[in-house]
Copies of this chain bind each other. A is one copy, B any other.
Amino acid sequence: MADRYSFSLTTFSPSGKLKQIEHALAAVKQGVTSLGIKATNGIVLATEKKSSSVLVNSEFIEKTVKITPDIGMTYAGMGPDFRVLTDKSRKVAHTRYKRIYNEDPPTKILVTDIARIMQEATQSAGVRPYGVSLLIGGHDDNNGFMLYQVDPSGSYFPWKATAIGKGSNAAKTFLEKRWNEELELEDAIHIALLTLKESIEGEMNGDTVEICIIGSQNDNLLGFEGAEGVSGPRFKKLSPQEINDRLDAL
């Protein structure tokens, strides 16, 4: 009988639960594993690219995205919902921050805005919650490198390392053992690959794993010399080759 409370988008069940949010979390749990690790000098976000067929042109699949030059995002759950949130995140970064202050939003402020968008979908009539959990990594001058997880309820927390999706429980246990305060970015990538290896089905290589990092400034991406006083983006996606090199080195 408790099931009947699942219908209405925004009502509480007698036990104070919002069932639709719990079901959305179930959608997240069906997604492939994604994880994020915060290191002293950067953040790594990693996720599995699961192809339903060898004919999928996996090199063009994009599961980690750049929101601002210094903030990246990945997800577990429903891909189309992730893309919608990607669009809205980029827009909100611009309209509610950059357009006003002429600089990109700090990680936490962007995360708050995205979380608000996701919360609204749990209280408004007629829309369902988003079927994704997000991992957002970024850097700003005040707080340095920060890693956040945002859930379908709009709830968010800062993490040292975390995992979402199908293999998240095992991955978190694994991460708890490996993570320490002195972790360097390269070590973090190393741990990310080891963690994914536990949960991935099929072969693991630069085509079936996607990794982005928020690290030091890539000034080389600013053109020949760049404008004075401007620094390059911290967001960088690892190429399949860079992933394979590291996998060989495991």
| Residues in chain A within 8 A of chain B (CB atoms) | 1, 3-20, 22-30, 38, 51-61, 78-81, 83-84, 87, 108, 112, 115-116, 118-129, 131, 143, 146-147, 153-155, 157-162, 172, 175-176, 179
Q: Are A126 and B128 in contact (CB under 8 A)?
A: no
Q: Is B83 touching A115 in the complex (CB atoms < 8 A)?
A: yes
A119 to chain B: which residues have CB within 8 Å?
A: 80-81, 83-84
Please give the count of copies of this chain that the complex contains: 7
The smallest C-beta distance from A67 to any residue of chain B, in angstroms, reads 15
Contact between A16 and B12, CB atoms less than 8 A apart? no
A128 B11 Cβ-Cβ under 8 A:
yes
Docked pose: A80 CA to B126 CA in angstroms = 19
Q: Is the interface of A mostly helix, strand, loop or mixed?
A: mixed
Chain B nearest CB, measured from A79 CB (Å) = 5
**A80 to B: closest C-beta gap in Å:** 3
Whole-angstrom CA separation of A159 from B122 in the bound complex: 31
A2 CB to closest chain B CB (Å) equals 9
Residues of B within 8 A of A116 (CB): 83-84, 87
